[in-house]
A = this chain, B = another copy of it.
Amino acid sequence: MWKPFQQQSTLPPTIYDIAREAKVGIGTVSRVFNDHPSVSKETRRRVLSVANRLSYRPHPYARGLARKRTNSIMAVIPFFTTFFFMEILQGVQSKLSELDCDVILFGVNHPDQVESSLRHHVLRSRVDGLLFFSMRMPDAFVSQFPHHRTPVVLVDAFHDRFDSLTVDNQQGAHAATHHLISLGHKRIGMLGANRESIPARERLRGFQNAMKEADLAIEPSLVKNSSSPKLDGFTRESGFEVMNQFLALGKEMPTAVVVSSDIQAAGALSAISAAGLRCPEDISIVGFDDIELASHLGLTTMRQPMFEMGTLAAEILLARLEDSAQEPTHRLFVPKLVVRNTSAAYVARERLASGTAA
């Protein structure tokens, strides 16, 4: 079989190769590739041309070694919570790759792994920075490694000593509740997750505020939290279970409920149809998160701009890389309402017609 071109089986060209060819010193080549101002236009052109011909690229590791930075960051994400991150990661990566910075994935299956991994990578300047998702920073890490060494930005998590980027759960829940109120609902319930979960608490507060603002009574029986410890109560089962408690109220049940997550809303929806009721007609539901499932369910929910969160996270980290001195910044993203078909205007007669269930 004939080969059109010579199979180049030599080692990749180094800065020396291109220096020799271009008849300059390696320093100059280096300067060219670092956009150093003091290189004559002509020289730069020549170097670039040779480099291009040999398809030379600086070796990232050699560069990292010499420059004492790695040009890569690590994303520590909880695998067990899956794919909320996939999208954020997408934003992160797209931003970072523009700057020729690698994203190293570090998925942890159990919070215990976090600490050891942090040690492993961070201690050894394996990465320039860290993106830390949705988990509590281990205290050991916080106290042991002053974050001046390798910058960390927290995504969907908070700590006053680190940059962070979170979603405004309170605002979101407020908007969700407000949506229901503006639809004419008055008996509105809140299906929450665990009391211990910070986001869950914030969402609850948002609900309460919105109700208060609208001068609507918050009936204790219409505010229920998951008691399941699993995943802080953000599970399909907890949604199913708690919704059943609401339905058991019979004619006392809410005409609409704000659910603290889409996954719980999915459970709630099954509970509703299992009880022989229909979703927007008999009771309205609004979720939170806008996970993919939500669109399949036609669930009205609060969407978080994940891609943008990703790019912003990257930007913040980059900024921190430049200037490690500044005070931590804390950014809040406010979720947007996505109206689909689980929320409808309150209609009195419909309720009466089927309020006998459960």
CB distance from A150 to the nearest CB of B (A): 11
Q: Which residue of B lies closest to A127 (CB)?
A: B102
Residues of B contacting A89 with CB < 8 Å? 105, 107
**Interface magnitude class on chain A:** 35 or more
Residues of B contacting A103 with CB < 8 Å? 104-105
- Within the assembled complex, what's the spacing in Å between the Cα atoms of A70 and B75? 19
Is A27 among interface residues, defined by CB-CB distance under 8 A? no
Task: Please judge, given known A-B contacts A107-B93, A236-B296, A296-B293, whether A124 and B86 are in contact too, CB under 8 Å.
Answer: no
Is A72 among interface residues, defined by CB-CB distance under 8 A? yes
CB distance from A110 to the nearest CB of B (A): 11
Q: Are A59 and B124 in contact (CB under 8 A)?
A: yes
Is A12 among interface residues, defined by CB-CB distance under 8 A? yes
**Interface residues as binary, A82-111 with B (CB distance below 8 Å gives 1, 0 otherwise):** 110011011001100100001111110100
Q: Are A62 and B65 in contact (CB under 8 A)?
A: yes
Residues of B contacting A70 with CB < 8 Å? 61
Is A221 among interface residues, defined by CB-CB distance under 8 A? no
Is A141 among interface residues, defined by CB-CB distance under 8 A? no
A260-311: which have CB < 8 Å to B?
266, 292-293, 296-297
Across the A-B interface, the 10 shortest Cβ-Cβ residue pairs: A57-B124, A83-B83, A61-B61, A61-B64, A103-B105, A105-B105, A79-B90, A102-B104, A61-B65, A93-B107
Having A94-B107, A236-B296, A293-B293, one finds 11 other A-B pairs with CB under 8 Å, namely: A7-B146, A12-B125, A61-B61, A75-B105, A82-B292, A89-B105, A97-B117, A103-B105, A104-B104, A293-B296, A296-B296
Q: List 15 A–B pairs whose Cβ atoms lie within 8 Å, in order of A's numbering.
A: A7-B146, A55-B123, A59-B65, A59-B126, A61-B126, A62-B65, A79-B93, A82-B83, A94-B107, A104-B104, A104-B105, A105-B105, A266-B296, A292-B293, A293-B293
